[in-house]
């Protein structure tokens, strides 16, 4: 069974390549659907396949750049990417990311980095989960009230409407983002991306997990446009991260390229699946992913607090993450198959009706 293993030229050990393709496929699927890089899923996966942590992060970021590019191109054709918004946000993201990285170095010097990063991550994920589910509950309440009052349900209404207040800030220049359907001060996306970039830099993640909800709740993007625009951001920041980690000599490029083979198929399916799922459907499952991620961090924190149970708790965190990735992948695949079948059946029906006429 030697053919199932490929030598990693830089890291210098053999890796089970079908594992890399399956991992790439799963992350491509989830990333294309939710609009995130998926570093929180890939790093433990690569670790299980035998990658040392330093190589796992660099390899993950490198493959993320290619995968997000594929998803962005596909989302772009659906009209889900606001390139102008994405480009403006790049400035804030890069500035924030660098400031965050410097903050981490300062925390390292005072010896508090692990404590602040882990707890900060947890608080942030709890806040995002609260935001997502509060939004869903409020939206449902609005819909119920509309039905009870005999009004038509507004498909464009949202539960949390913080963006409406933020749009009232009229600090010039005022910019119109056509694809997102927003008109606001350019400082709003710059400020928001600076903060999300700062948090991503401190937490050592790509930022999709934070930026996707920020695009929805603070900037006011429709869910599909938030997914596409965030992927555009991830592609750019991923490329920056790929260059940075490669320069530090911590990227196993061959592994990233093998992962890209699986990710390219997964990203296409994940992106096309968004055609068949309503915005709030995506938000619900995004919330579930955030909760899963938070629970896995709780396990890690407990592992630090109770060293005797460390191996069990670490294993539980990994099983949870991989279980979550498998469940979400299955959900997206099923929605894709159902939606595609329905669309093709309708297409055939209309073609045969046309032929009869």
Partner 1 sequence: MTHWQWIRTLAIAVLFAPALWAAGGGGAETIVLVADSRRYAGWKAWWMNLYNESHLYFAIFTIVVVPTVGLILGKATDWLMARTGINLKSRILAEH
Q: Which is nearer to partner 1, 113 or 122 (CB)?
A: 113
DSSP string across 250-274: ---HHHHHHHHHHHHHHHHHHHHHG
Residues 124-143 that bind partner 1 (CB under 8 A): none
DSSP string across 162-227: HHHHHTT--PSPEEEETTTTEEEETHHHHHHHHHHHHHHHHHTS-SHHHHHHHIIIII---HHHHH
Residues 36-65 that bind partner 1 (CB under 8 A): 62-63, 65
Residues 176-215 that bind partner 1 (CB under 8 A): 187, 191, 194
Pick the stretch among 43-51, 113-121, 301-309, 336-344 that binds partner 1 (CB under 8 A).
336-344
Least distance from partner 1 to the Cβ atom of residue 39, Å: 15
Least distance from partner 1 to the Cβ atom of residue 33, Å: 13
Count of positions on this chain that bind partner 1 (CB under 8 A): 71
Q: Which is nearer to partner 1, 235 or 294 (CB)?
A: 235
Cα distances (angstroms) measured from residue 189 to each of 2, 6, 160, 171, 207:
51, 44, 18, 12, 15
Which of helix, strand or coil describes residue 324?
helix
Which of helix, strand or coil describes residue 36?
coil
Q: Which listed residue (41, 125, 267, 303) binds partner 1 by CB under 8 A?
A: 267
Q: Which listed residue (193, 223, 237, 316) binds partner 1 by CB under 8 A?
A: 223
Residue 10: count other Cβ atoms within 10 Å of its Cβ.
16
Least distance from partner 1 to the Cβ atom of residue 270, Å: 11
Q: Does residue 145 belong to the site contacting partner 1 (CB under 8 A)?
A: no
CA distance 3 to 6: 7
Q: Which listed residue (48, 49, 101, 113) binds partner 1 by CB under 8 A?
A: 101
Q: Does residue 114 belong to the site contacting partner 1 (CB under 8 A)?
A: no
- Residue 354 is encoded by which pair of tokens? 């046309």
Q: Does residue 157 belong to the site contacting partner 1 (CB under 8 A)?
A: yes
Q: Which listed residue (134, 264, 318, 327) binds partner 1 by CB under 8 A?
A: 264
DSSP string across 295-312: HHHHHHHHHHH-GGGHHH
Pick the stretch among 259-267, 287-295, 300-308, 318-326 that binds partner 1 (CB under 8 A).
259-267
Q: Does residue 174 belong to the site contacting partner 1 (CB under 8 A)?
A: no
Cis peptide before 173 (omega within 30 of 0): yes
Nearest to 217 by CA among 130, 107, 126: 130
Exposure class string for 39-65: b at 16+ Cβ within 10 A, else e: bbbbbbbbeebebeeebbbbbbbbbbb
Q: Does residue 300 belong to the site contacting partner 1 (CB under 8 A)?
A: no
Q: Which is nearer to partner 1, 59 or 316 (CB)?
A: 59
Least distance from partner 1 to the Cβ atom of residue 210, Å: 17
Residues 6 or more apart in contact with residue 72 via CB below 8 angstroms? 81, 228, 231, 232, 235
> Which residue's structure tokens are 């009229």?
170
Residues 228-247 that bind partner 1 (CB under 8 A): 239, 242-244, 246-247
- Residue 329 is encoded by which pair of tokens? 């992948």
Q: Which listed residue (46, 256, 321, 325) binds partner 1 by CB under 8 A?
A: 256
Q: Which is nearer to partner 1, 250 or 300 (CB)?
A: 250
Q: Which is nearer to partner 1, 67 or 300 (CB)?
A: 67
């Amino acid at each position: 069974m030697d053919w199932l293993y490929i030598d990693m030229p830089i890291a210098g050990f053999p890796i089970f390549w079908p594992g890399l393709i399956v991992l790439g496929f799963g992350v491509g699927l989830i990333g294309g659907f939710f609009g995130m890089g998926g570093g929180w899923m890939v790093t433990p996966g690569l670790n299980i396949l035998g990658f040392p942590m330093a190589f796992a992060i660099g390899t993950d970021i490198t493959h993320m750049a290619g995968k997000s590019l594929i998803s962005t191109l596909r989302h772009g054709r659906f009209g889900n990417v606001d390139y102008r918004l994405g480009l403006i946000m790049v400035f804030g993201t890069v500035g924030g990311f660098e400031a965050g990285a410097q903050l981490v170095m300062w925390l390292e010097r005072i010896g508090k980095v692990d404590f602040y990063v882990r707890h900060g991550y947890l608080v942030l994920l709890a806040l995002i989960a609260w935001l997502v589910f509060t939004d869903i509950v409020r939206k449902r309440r609005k819909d119920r009230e509309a039905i009870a009052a005999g009004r038509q349900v507004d498909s464009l209404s949202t539960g949390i409407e913080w963006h409406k207040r933020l749009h009232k800030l009229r600090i010039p220049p005022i910019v119109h983002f056509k694809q997102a359907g927003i008109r606001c001060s350019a400082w709003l996306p710059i400020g928001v991306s600076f903060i999300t970039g700062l948090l991503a830099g401190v937490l050592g993640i790509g930022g999709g997990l934070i930026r996707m909800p920020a695009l929805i709740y603070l900037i006011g993007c429709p869910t599909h446009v938030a997914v596409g625009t965030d992927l555009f951001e991830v592609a750019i920041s991923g490329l920056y991260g790929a260059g940075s980690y490669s320069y530090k000599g911590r990227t196993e490029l061959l592994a990233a390229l093998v992962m890209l083979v699986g990710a390219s198929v997964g990203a296409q399916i994940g992106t096309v699946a968004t055609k068949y799922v309503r915005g709030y459907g995506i938000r619900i499952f995004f919330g579930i992913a955030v909760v899963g991620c938070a629970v896995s961090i709780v396990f890690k924190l407990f592992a630090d607090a109770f060293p005797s149970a460390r191996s069990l708790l670490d294993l539980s965190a990994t099983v949870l993450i991989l279980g979550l990735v498998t469940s979400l992948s299955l959900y997206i695949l099923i929605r894709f198959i159902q939606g595609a079948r329905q669309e093709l059946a309708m297409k055939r029906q209309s073609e045969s009706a046309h032929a009869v006429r």
